[in-house]
């Protein structure tokens, strides 16, 4: 029998139904904080303890290795058994299948699972062998291309990998002439050579085995008497097909998820698998778990009000399991101009309303965080402490109880600067402190090189971007300095004429540094920064690499320089700025356990915190400026819902006036106005003029998104109608540039036009 911890009385009515409904097809719609993991672990223990199923006959799939490990630990405690069956990710389960049955695809049991660094090492070999450069395709773009080709363009590629000999694949690679083909077949050759499988291969190979080998499929179908899938809202096509291949023998399939928390469609997740589960499987029983034990009622009211604006969902409201039933929401106009007599009606609850703060600048927004954190922790200055016992007696929360969430990493820059200045201990989850990020250190080293020509800066930037000044030439320069003295830069200037530097861009690097060293005194630092990033080729290298996040960070650094110039006036010098920036590169402040946590919302998924601040709630920041359809906007709103439901006791929303990295002034996020005004404590009222401008901006944005969504399914060859140019045929669609190339019947040559063009589709 299991341990004494296993007791169905620990479950509420909905959880108990999910646990004890063991036979057939079961769908659980589990709201945020409703005890989903508890229901899953108890269900596993119920099958083992009460029904007597062998753990090795149960498959429980979750989406991260961390979640699988946590689930295994909890199940061990409930069953008292070290055997926890197949509790893993889809990829982990596929590894188990291949370790048993890889002979079906002519692979050894000792196959290699490849990660991104392995793939990059293979790409390096291919690029060197065939003379490809990163200008043709970055490694990141090559990995994406390979994935898209494997999943969509050549979904049967694995048959080549399985059936063709190593020499046949090699010949295909050697015969390839286009960069895409060279990289793709070169990669397949490298994979076959070391019997390596990447994450896509694991799923594809196992699905291939199940589809082509009846005996192996039957063996796994019979073995897995019960299949449970967690986070079902995040499932993609190939995972769905694997699941369908496994369950027809016993027909016991249990899926649990929340359509309101689908935030990974960009990774292939399809919300329809959960929404339409009852249409695709016979006799589905649906159980709603919407009693939330994590958050206070006012926080849940905010979450319910926000997500109710989405259309693609199963309607449900989270109910507070701690403070009684939620009342129906008051429906107020989301962008109504507040009247002087407005007073928020507080719902009947012992907990405070979530707060909304509108700041005049990003710095004021960060300073408001400091003020609130000090109030919450009872400290005048939040010094790093290791236990809550060290806090003053007025403390309600420890610093580590507090999480600051944002949509993208670059938003943390101003917060980090203010926190370091104000001695607020913080740590970044899944992110590097802003001034410690590679591109920030590199670009500041360029400025330092211009001002000081020091060896540390020289070593950091002389070959970034690549100038063919690698280890051998650096070693020569170091030996030169050891013998003759001076700096490495001096040594390069004196040696650049040597044959050793003939095939390098060392002279252009020297010209760059000499030119700006002579002129930087007469330039603004922000102007100097722009010129150096451009002329050094550093910004171009980032663009070629295709990393929008790193480019956003550069833009944020430039904004930081501009703010420094504005605050210092005429006394601002490059040397002063570099000293100022150096203060923020000291990472000591992040090393403490009891510190405020900063992270993106995606990182926070699955976590919970007593206090949550959601910052940077501006249009083009959150929602992201990358949103290009009404469907994508619904996903952003789901992401906001995920952020709100991380909070247990206190929730604070904030945004600031100013300018975005991308274009134009900042407007408060539509997500603020999606929340009924009575449910938020507005710390300051929004200026009526800003409210009017915001409303117009959101309306215009929605109109553009509606148009893009309407035309999203257009493809090459479709017939369209233009209200002025008439009927035409789409020749090409460039989704990156957001353009159509159309050949109109009445116009001699094709026309390239934006997605905003007044086109309508003709026919079905």
Complete DSSP assignment for 141-161: HHHHHHHHIIIII-TTHHHHH
329, pLDDT greater than 70: no
Q: Which is more confident, 593 or 105? A: 105
The candidate with the shortest Cα–Cα distance to 682, out of 302, 384, 329, 391, is 302
- Beta carbons within 8 Å of 543's beta carbon, 6+ residues apart: 551
pLDDT greater at residue 39 or residue 436: 39
**Domain limits, CATH 3.40.50.300, in the chain:** 8-102+205-289, 355-380+395-432+590-701
Residue 713 above 50 pLDDT?
yes
**Looking at residues 656-680, what average pLDDT do you find?**
86
| Structure confidence at residue 13 as a pLDDT band (50, 70, 90) | very high
541: how many CB neighbours lie within 10 A of its CB?
A: 20
Q: Where are the beta strands (DSSP E) in 58-204?
A: 58-61, 86-88, 112-113, 196-197
pLDDT of residue 576: 75
Which residues fall in the annotated binding site for ATP?
A: 30-37
pLDDT at 79: 87
Model confidence band, residue 430 (pLDDT cutoffs 50, 70, 90): low
Return the number of other C-beta atoms located less than 10 Å from residue 99's C-beta: 11
What average pLDDT does range 270-290 have in this prediction? 92
pLDDT at 324 over 50: no
pLDDT band at residue 140, thresholds of 50, 70 and 90?
A: confident
Minimum mean pLDDT range among 173-182, 257-266, 557-566, 716-725:
557-566
> What pLDDT does 418 receive?
94
User: Which has the closest alpha carbon to 369: 402, 324, 394?
Assistant: 402
Tokens coding 362: 């990003």
pLDDT of 410 reads: 81
Q: Say which residue, 566 or 511, is predicted with more confidence.
A: 511
Closest-CA residue to 400 (of 610, 211, 168): 610
Residue 567 banded pLDDT, cuts 50, 70, 90: low
Class at the top of the CATH hierarchy for domain 714-761? mainly beta
Domain with CATH 2.30.30.30 in the chain: 714-761
Distance CA 395, CA 388 (A): 9
| pLDDT tens sequence across 717-740 | 889 889 899 999 999 887 656 688
722 or 571, which is more confident? Answer: 722
pLDDT of residue 296: 95
Q: Note whether 422 and 370 are within 8 A (CB).
A: yes
Give residue-wise pLDDT tens across range 201-241. Answer: 999 999 999 999 999 999 999 999 999 999 999 999 999 99
Q: What local confidence, expressed as pLDDT, does residue 764 receive?
A: 57
Report yes or no: 757 and 738 within 8 Å, Cβ to Cβ: no
Tell me which CATH code domain 8-102+205-289 carries.
3.40.50.300
pTM confidence score: 0.71
In this predicted structure, which of 143-147, 383-387, 463-467, 655-659 has the lowest mean pLDDT?
383-387
Position 387 pLDDT exceeds 60: no
**Phi-psi map region of 528: left, alpha, beta (phi>0 left; psi -120 to 50 alpha):** alpha
- Supply the pLDDT for residue 346: 38
pLDDT at 144: 87
Say whether pLDDT at 332 is over 90: no
* pLDDT of amino acid 151: 83
* Candidate ranges 94-108, 153-167, 564-578; pick with highest mean pLDDT: 94-108
Q: Is the model more confident about 15 or about 391?
A: 15
pLDDT of residue 587: 39
Residues making up the binding site? 30-37
CB 369 within 8 A of CB 404: yes
Right CATH number for 435-585 from 1.10.600.10, 1.10.150.120, 3.60.150.10, 1.10.486.10?
1.10.486.10
pLDDT for position 349: 56
**What pLDDT sits at residue 52?**
94
- Confidence label for 714 from pLDDT (cuts 50, 70 and 90): confident
Indicate the fold that domain 355-380+395-432+590-701 takes in CATH: Rossmann fold (3.40.50)
């Amino acid at each position: 029998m299991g341990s004494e911890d296993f007791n169905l009385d620990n479950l509420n009515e909905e959880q108990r139904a999910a646990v004890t409904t063991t036979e057939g097809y079961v769908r659980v719609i589990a709201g945020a904080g409703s005890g989903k993991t508890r229901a899953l672990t108890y269900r596993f223990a119920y099958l083992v303890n009460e029904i007597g199923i062998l753990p090795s006959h149960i498959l429980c799939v979750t989406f991260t290795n961390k979640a699988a490990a946590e689930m295994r630990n909890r199940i061990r405690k409930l069953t008292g058994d070290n055997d926890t069956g197949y509790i893993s990710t889809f990829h982990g389960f596929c590894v188990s299948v291949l370790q048993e049955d890889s002979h079906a695809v002519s692979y050894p049991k000792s196959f290699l699972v490849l990660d991104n660094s392995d793939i990059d090492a293979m790409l390096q070999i291919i690029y060197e062998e065939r003379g490809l450069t990163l200008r043709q395709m970055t490694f990141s773009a090559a990995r994406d291309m390979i994935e898209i080709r494997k999943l969509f363009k050549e979904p049967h590629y694995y048959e080549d990998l399985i059936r063709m000999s190593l020499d046949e694949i090699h010949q295909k690679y050697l015969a390839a002439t286009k960069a895409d083909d060279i990289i793709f077949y070169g990669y397949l050759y490298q994979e076959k050579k070391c019997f390596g499988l990447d994450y896509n291969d694991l799923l594809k190979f196992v699905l291939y085995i199940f589809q082509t080998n009846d005996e192996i499929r039957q063996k796994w179908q019979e073995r897995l008497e019960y299949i449970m899938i967690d986070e079902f809202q995040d499932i993609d096509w190939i995972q769905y097909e694997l699941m369908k291949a496994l369950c027809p023998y016993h027909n016991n399939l249990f899926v649990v998820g929340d359509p309101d928390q689908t935030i990974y469609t960009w990774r292939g997740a399809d919300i329809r698998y959960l929404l339409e589960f009852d249409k695709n499987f016979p006799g589905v029983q649906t159980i709603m778990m919407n009693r939330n034990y994590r958050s206070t009622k006012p926080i849940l009211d905010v979450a319910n009000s926000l997500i109710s604006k989405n259309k693609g969902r199963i309607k449900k409201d989270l109910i507070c399991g701690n403070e009684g039933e939620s009342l129906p929401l008051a429906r107020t106009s989301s962008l109504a101009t507040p009247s002087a007599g407005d007073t928020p009606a507080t719902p009947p609850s012992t907990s405070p309303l979530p707060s909304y703060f509108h700041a005049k600048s990003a710095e004021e927004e960060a300073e408001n965080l400091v003020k609130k954190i000090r109030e919450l922790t009872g400290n005048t200055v939040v010094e790093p402490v290791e236990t809550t016992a060290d806090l003053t007696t007025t403390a309600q929360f420890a610093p580590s109880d507090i999480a600051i969430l944002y949509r993208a990493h670059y938003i943390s820059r101003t917060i980090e600067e203010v926190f370091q200045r104000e001695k607020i201990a913080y740590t970044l989850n899944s992110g590097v402190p802003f001034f410690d990020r590679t591109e920030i250190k590199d670009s500041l080293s360029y400025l330092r090189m211009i001002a000081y020509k020091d060896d540390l800066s020289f070593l950091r930037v002389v070959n970034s971007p690549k100038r063919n000044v690698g280890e051998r030439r650096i070693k020569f320069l170091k030996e030169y300095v050891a013998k003759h003295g001076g700096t490495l830069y001096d040594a390069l200037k004196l040696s650049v004429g040597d044959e050793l530097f003939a095939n390098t861009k060392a002279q252009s690097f020297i010209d760059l540094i000499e030119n700006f060293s002579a002129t930087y005194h007469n330039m603004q630092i922000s102007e100097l920064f722009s010129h150096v990033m451009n002329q050094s080729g550093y910004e171009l290298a980032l663009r070629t690499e295709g990393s929008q996040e790193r480019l956003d960070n550069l833009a944020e650094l430039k904004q930081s320089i501009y703010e420094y110039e504005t605050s210092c006036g005429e006394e601002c010098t490059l040397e002063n700025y570099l000293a100022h920036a150096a203060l923020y590169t000291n990472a000591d402040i992040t090393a403490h356990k009891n510190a405020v946590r900063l992270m993106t919302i995606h990182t926070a998924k699955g976590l919970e915190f007593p206090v949550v601040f959601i910052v940077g709630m501006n249009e083009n920041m959150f929602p992201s400026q990358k949103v290009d359809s009404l469907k994508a906007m619904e996903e952003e709103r789901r992401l906001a819902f995920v952020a709100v439901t991380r909070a247990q006791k206190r929730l604070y929303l904030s945004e600031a006036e100013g300018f975005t990295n991308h274009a134009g002034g900042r407007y408060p996020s539509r997500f603020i106005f999606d929340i009924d005004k009575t449910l938020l404590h507005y710390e300051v009222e929004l200026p009526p003029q800003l409210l009017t401008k915001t409303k117009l901006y959101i309306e215009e944005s929605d109109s553009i998104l509606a148009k893009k969504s309407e035309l999203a399914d257009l493809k090459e060859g479709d017939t369209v109608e233009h209200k002025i140019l008439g009927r035409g045929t789409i020749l090409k669609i460039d989704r990156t540039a957001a353009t159509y190339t159309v050949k109109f019947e009445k116009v001699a040559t094709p026309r390239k036009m934006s997605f905003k063009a007044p086109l309508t589709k003709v026919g079905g």
